[in-house]
Structure 1
Amino acid sequence: MADDLQALEDWAAPLLARLEAKERRQLARTIARDLRRSQRERIKAQRNPDGSAFAPRKPQRLRARQGSIRRRAMFGKLTTAKWLKATARGDTAVTGFFGNVARIARTHQYGLRDRVDRNGPTIEYLQRELLGFTEADRTRIRDSLIDHLGSV
């Protein structure tokens, strides 16, 4: 995947160099917004970037309080614009989680260990890739670049 992005960057770099700074910022903002939208839809569909389903939640203990965890789709609130940010700075487009939510997202993205509560037990979470590039995302970025260059 990194090779595909590097190839896209190598292809786009000479084209982007011909644009003015304002046009590059506008293009970066458009790409970041489109990526945020596609990431949000993929997370809502509970899919990893490769198309596989998220690892399911662990089953709850039999004596657990009834209804303590609502069995809705995971990460519902993380997909809102408050937490999943799309920004453009200079020549870069950034889509990701920031602040305390970034720690939670990183734990699931890489399958790390974390505490449920401040003094609670440490739990190892299964890997669920919240952010990543799909083939459709790469195509969308390339098409956005071509459309922007065609309108200039």
Structure 2
Amino acid sequence: MDDDLSRFEEWFGQILHGLEPAQRRRGAVELGQALRRSNLKRISANIQPDGTAMEPRKPRKEYRSRLLKRNRGKMFRGLRRARNWKISADDEGVEIRPATGTVSNVASVSHFGEVATVGYLRGGSPVRTRYPERRLLGFSEGDKQLALDVAAELLDPDS
């Protein structure tokens, strides 16, 4: 997958290199928006970029005896909104990243499977847990076609 991505990046970079800087920036913004939409659809469906399902979240301890529907199922309610993902685009490339603050913290803990504080005991000591790695951002097979469509639109805007 990494080899495919590097070859694709080289190919797309050659297309963008033949354009003027303003057109390259516009193309990078369009590609970033399309990739953000694609990734947000995947996040809301709890699917990782490679197509596998994300590990389901554990029910909260106080609700384990009676499983509440709202506690199961979809994760990342805040991360499913486009406003929580920033697109940085210029004539050299595009970057999609979580916005600062809580959104960034939740995204990094989930994406990399880090340890985070989930609560505090009555004595004030923190309760920490390791989250499973759930890939949020990535480049899937469908995203390649999406990028090809953006490149085709850049090369022939009349079609």
Q: TM-score range by the shorter chain?
A: 0.7 to 0.9
CA RMSD of aligned residues (A): 2.3
| Unmatched segments (≥5 aa) in structure 1 | none
Provide runs of 4+ in structure 1 moved above 4 Å: 62-67
The TM-score normalised by the length of structure 1 is 0.86
Alpha carbons of structure 1 residues 39 and 28: separation in structure 2 relative to 1, 3 Å = same
1-structure distance, mates of 2:57, 2:141 = 27
| Unmatched segments (≥5 aa) in structure 2 | none
Alpha carbons of structure 1 residues 115 and 65: separation in structure 2 relative to 1, 3 Å = farther
Per-residue displacement from partner, 1:9-36 (whole Å, max 9, x unpaired)? 2222332211000000110110011011
- Deviation of the 1:63 alpha carbon: 6.7
Does residue 145 of structure 1 match 2:146? no
In structure 2, the partner of 1:107 is 109
- Deviation of the 1:78 alpha carbon: 1.1
Query: In the comparison of the two structures, how many residue pairs are matched?
Result: 151
Identity %: 32
In structure 1, the partner of 2:91 is 90
Does residue 127 of structure 1 match 2:133? yes
Secondary structure, counterpart of 2:83 in structure 1: coil
Alignment of 1:1-152 (within 5 A): 1-61=1-61, 70-100=71-101, 101-117=103-119, 120-151=126-157
Moved more, 29-38 or 101-110: 101-110
Secondary structure, counterpart of 1:46 in structure 2: coil
Secondary structure, counterpart of 1:59 in structure 2: coil
2-structure distance, mates of 1:93, 1:134 = 17
2-structure distance, mates of 1:63, 1:140 = 41
1-structure distance, mates of 2:148, 2:63 = 52
